Structures are given as structure tokens and as C-alpha cells.
Amino acid sequence: MLSKNNVQKIANLARIEISDEEAEKYSKELSDILGFVEKLNEADTDKIEPIAHITGAKNVTREDEIIEANAETKEGIIKNFPEKKDRFDKVKAVF
Amino acid sequence: MIRDLHEKLVNQEITSEQLTSDYFDAIEKKEPKIEAFLSLNKEFALDKARAVDRKIQNGEEIGLLAGIPSAIKDNMCINGLPVTAGSKVLENYIAPYDATVIKKLKKEDAVFLGKTNLDEFAMGSSTENSAYQTTKNAHDTSRVPGGSSGGSAAAVAADMCAYALGSDTGGSIRQPASFCGTVGLKPTYGLVSRYGLIAMASSFDQIGPITRTVEDAAIVFSRIAGKDRHDSTSVPLVDKNYEDFLSGNVKNLKIGVPKEYFEGNGLDAGVRKIVENSIEKYEKLGAKIIDVSLPSGEYALATYYIIQPCEVSSNMARYDGIRFGQSIEKGNSEDNFVLKDIYFKSRAKYLGKEVKRRIMLGTYALSAGYYDQYYKKAQKVRALIKNKFEEAFQKVDVILGPTAPTPAFKIGEKTENPLEMYLADIYTAPANIAGIPAISIPAGNAKIEGKELPVGLQLMGKWFDEETLLNCAHAFEIS
């Protein structure tokens, strides 16, 4: 069971501001889901190696080379900045 | 269907321009009731159509998809056009590049009519999680079209496009295909590049076609698959046109039926009946029906609902209000916010409920002290499920079962209970966990409240054996 307090801690880690009412709601919903996934504990996995990926691919490498994007793509990326100064992405102070 | 249109174009019985504007007329007429599209690109589509017409008039040879109008789920990037992923956080975002599937379809001279509705970031089974609109099921507009590719499935079902692309993370192509009475193919993980598909859960996500016939699915799939340098998980194993290998012969084909998929009381009686009838039909066609054992859908779903939110929590980190997307920073430059406030407040304001729920679930499962209990355990069960499929595929060529436990449900029926909504994926998630290909094909109708609602049959195939899978589906469809 996740308490409201737990939920606020998780939301803080996830960088999402949530209200007290939301925390209450999420506490119930997330607890329900975590209750459902308890089912996993019934599976005997003692001799099983975990897999992160189905293809079995490991360390797919390529040459470390610069491929220039075309001007249109570059402009497109810059246009999508929420705030900008000239061609730079403008951000708030860290502190 | 696609082939018929192609022949009409080549024989100059109709122009692509006429075909395209006919589809826009159909959209204009039906869209107010169905709400399948988030944006339309009329001029863009008609320009392309006219270019194809010129090729035909010049006697140039054209491919099967040239000049054929399609719809694209709005989580795939088309250069210069909006892509929202069904989220407010990407409202007004313009894609600065083409997804690889779009690049490939452009090479085929495909015509894109517009972008279709989806649950926000493809998280959902009904399109009700879209931040913009809920798409309606054409068979009963009080019901959902399924999801998350509900807009694509509804557009195909209502004949507002010749075919559509969807994406499938836990059933998002197959479940709406089942609800809408269309064909939906989720290819083997790795066969279709995910570059330019807005990521949800990267080890599960796969793009595939939603179509009217199995042949159409084969045609589209063959043209979007292939190794891509932009997606290191893509594999170079598709080098043929699968539509050329549909013999319709399933004599002696070994079809496995997992008994676990018919246990418990979650499976609707009407759906069960239709699946049982389908088994009989395959027997009559000469296929051998063999019992197989797979972990119950609940294990798969539990595994899925740990790993998927973990990957979601990581993939959604990019929506931080800094580099793109909606931000509370916009037009707010004079206040005393620091960087952290932009993160917290932008994510709070522009991400939807279900997205936040999954981010938090994943954040929790990956956090110190819980990683082994949840994430690692789920990865082990994932390996276990994959092993069980490998064992089953030693004995059989294809595995058959229901696509979804019920026909289309009512709008609003499951929105208050996330867990109940998740159960809609119970038969589809296993294929994503194992990475195998799976297809949903229309298998009959169930009568509910006086309305005939389509029911899909799911066939799952061996890794990279789309050929057998598609042929098995084709045999069912033509008989």
C-alpha cells in the first residue's frame, strides 16, 4: 500500500507537481496496480536470467562520425524551443 | 483492396487526385460522428496525388502503394507537419524530420490524408486518454474503437482511408482492429524501425499496418520493414514482398491453442464462441489443432505493467519544458521561477492523468530498494514467458486465441478504474513481451444490446515468420 506521503516522494523524483487530492487518488490507484502485479511472485524464476530486450542484441556499435542535419531540420528544431534567444535555447537559472 | 485501387489507377479508371478527394469527402461526411482524425493535410495530400497521376500519365511504372490514400497514427513524425501523440505537451509541435516508416512510404509515393487520434502517448485501450477527443466506434458510436491506435482503426473501418499505420506496445494495433472489424498486424520486434515513432516503451513498441484485408497488411508491412541505421534494434530480415506468398493453403499447418487463454471468467461468452468456431474452421481447412500450454495472460499482463511503466518513466523524462513541447516558461519570462519549477509545473500542467500514473509507477518500481522486487523480477518473468513461447513453437507453427476478452466496450465504462482498462490487453501483451509477430483478423460478430459488434481472432507466429502468420490469416479470410 502506497501512502499519500510515498506518492508525493515518487512525484518529486519524477519531477511532477501534484496536489494533495491527486496524491490521494494516485495512492489508491497505484496500490491497486501494485496489488495486481504481486502475481509475479507466484512465478518460479530461481534459475532464470533476467532479459531487458528480446533481440539479444548487445552493444550495437557504429562509427562515431558527425552527420550534418540539413538546414531545414536545424531550423525546425530551433523553432520548437519553448523560449529562445537568437538561435539558442533559453533556460532558467538552476538556482 | 489496395491492389484493386492500384489497378484502377494504373488503368486510368480513376486518378489519385480523384481518389484522394473522394476520401476527403468521406471524411467530411463521417468525421463529425467518428472523430478519428487529429489533423488533415489536404493540400499536401492532393499535391502528392497529382504527382503520382503525372507519373502514370507519363507511362512510368508505379508501386502498389503509389497514390493510395492512407492515415497515420499521430505518434509518427512527418516532416513539417504537427505531431501531438494525443498529448497537450506536444500541441503546436512541428516534426522537424520524417520517421523512417514515413520516409519509406514517401519513396513508395504514398498519399497521407491526415494523422489519427490515439490515447496520449499511446497509453490506453480506448482513445479516451487522448487529450483532444474520444474516437467513436463506427459499429456503435456509444462505444470505443479500442486503442491506442483507435483513430487509425476507426478510419479504416469507416472507409475514411485505404489503410492506416498504428503502433503496438501491448495490443494497440490488434485490440482496436478487433473492436472495429479490421485487420491489424504487429510485426516481430525489430522488423520495422521505430525511428520517428514517439517512444512509449521502447522494448515493446512496434509499428504495423491496420487494413481491410490480410493481403493489404502484407503489402504495407513489406514496404515499411527493414534495417535502419537510426534504430539499433532493427534487423535486416525483410527482403521480400509478403503479398506474393499468400497461398491460402493451411493443410497440415500446426495451430496451437493455449488452454490458459480460455480459463477464468474474463472471456466474454460471445467472443469464446467465435474463437471456438474459428478453430473448427481451421480444422476443416486441413490444419492440425494442437493443445499448448502458455503462462496465463495475467502473468504476462503483470510483467507488462511493470516493465512498460519503467520504460515510460524514462522515455517521458524528455518532456521537461526545456527543449520542445509546451512549457510554462512560454511567455512567462519575467517571473522568479528557477529551472526546477519549469520541470515540475510544465509536467504537471501538460501531461495527462494516465501518463503521470505510469511515470510514477515506473519511477517507484525503478527506485532504490524496489528495483529487484519489481523490475528485475518482471524481467525474469519476461524471460520465462519467452521460453514458454519457444517451447510451444517447437510443437506448432502458429498460436490461436482471442484478441481481446470482450467486444468494444462503452465510452466511459472503464475510465474510472485503470486496472480494469489494463485487462483489455490481457491476450495481446504476451506477443509484445516475447517480441513475436501477431495479427488480429475479423472472425465474426457478437450481438450486444441489439448491435452487431465485430470480434477479432488473434494469431501469433514465430519470431520473423510473418510469412506463415500472414498466410494462415489469409486462409481464414478467403474461406
CB contact under 8 Å between A80 and B325, yes or no, is yes
CB contact under 8 Å between A40 and B378, yes or no, is yes
CB contact under 8 Å between B380 and A94, yes or no, is no
Which is nearest to B477 in space by CA: B250, B206, B307? B250
Q: Is B152 a catalytic residue?
A: no
| Band (A95; pLDDT cuts 50, 70, 90) | confident
Q: Is B148 a catalytic residue?
A: yes
pLDDT at A59: 83
A64, exposed or middle or buried, with CB in 10 Å at 0-12, 13-18, 19+?
A: exposed
User: Which residues of chain A make contact with B359, given a CB cutoff of 8 A?
Assistant: 14, 16
pLDDT at A55: 81
C-beta neighbour count of B80 within 10 angstroms: 14
Q: Spell out the domain ranges in chain A.
A: 4-41
Question: Distance (Å, rounded) from C-alpha A16 to C-alpha B246?
Answer: 50
pLDDT at A36: 92
C-alpha Rg value of chain B to the nearest Å: 22
Nearest by CB to residue A62, choosing from B229, B320, B322, is B229
Closest residue in B to A19 (Cα–Cα): B348
Q: How far is CA B448 from the centre of its chain?
A: 25
> Going by DSSP bridges, is the β-strand pair B183-186/B206-211 parallel, antiparallel, or unpaired?
antiparallel
Chain B closest-CA separation from residue A65 CA (Å): 13
Which residues are CB-neighbours of B270 under 8 A, at least 6 positions away?
A: B407, B446, B447, B448, B455
pLDDT at B236: 84
Which is nearest to A16 in space by CA: B249, B362, B256? B362
pLDDT at B333: 62
CB contact under 8 Å between B367 and A91, yes or no, is no
Q: Which three cell numbers stand for residue B24?
A: 476527403
User: Which residues of chain B make contact with A92, given a CB cutoff of 8 A?
Assistant: 329, 337-339, 341-342
Chain B closest-CA separation from residue A12 CA (Å): 8
Closest residue in B to A85 (Cα–Cα): B333
CB contact under 8 Å between B384 and A48, yes or no, is yes
> Going by DSSP bridges, is the β-strand pair B206-211/B163-168 parallel, antiparallel, or unpaired?
antiparallel
> Going by DSSP bridges, is the β-strand pair B111-116/B69-73 parallel, antiparallel, or unpaired?
parallel
The residues in A 26-45 lying below 8 A from B, measured between CB atoms, are 26, 29-30, 32-34, 36-43, 45
Closest residue in A to B434 (Cα–Cα): A54
C-alpha Rg value of chain A to the nearest Å: 22
Q: Is B346 a catalytic residue?
A: no
Question: Distance (Å, rounded) from C-alpha B388 to C-alpha B436?
Answer: 12
Q: What angle do CA B389, B395, B398 make, to 5 degrees?
A: 65
Percent of chain A with pLDDT over 70: 100
Q: Which three cell numbers stand for residue A2?
A: 502506497
Q: Which residue has the cell 529487484?
A: B372
Nearest by CB to residue A91, choosing from B189, B339, B376, is B339
Q: Indicate the DSSP class of residue B301.
A: H
pLDDT at B67: 98
Q: Domain B1-479's class?
A: alpha beta
Chain A closest-CA separation from residue B114 CA (Å): 20
pLDDT at B458: 98
Residue ranges with strand state E in B259-305: 288-292
pLDDT at B394: 98
User: Which residues of chain A make contact with B357, given a CB cutoff of 8 A?
Assistant: 26, 29-30
Q: How far is CA B430 from the centre of its chain?
A: 15
Chain A closest-CA separation from residue B427 CA (Å): 16
How confident is the model over B290-306, as pLDDT tens digits? 999 998 888 899 999 99
Chain B closest-CA separation from residue A49 CA (Å): 6
pLDDT at B334: 60
A80 interfacial to chain B (CB closer than 8 Å) = yes
Residues B471, B221: contact at Cβ < 8 Å? no
Name the active-site residue from B16, B48, B70, B73.
B73
Sign of CA dihedral B471, B476, B478, B479: positive
* Positions of chain B with pLDDT under 70: 332-334
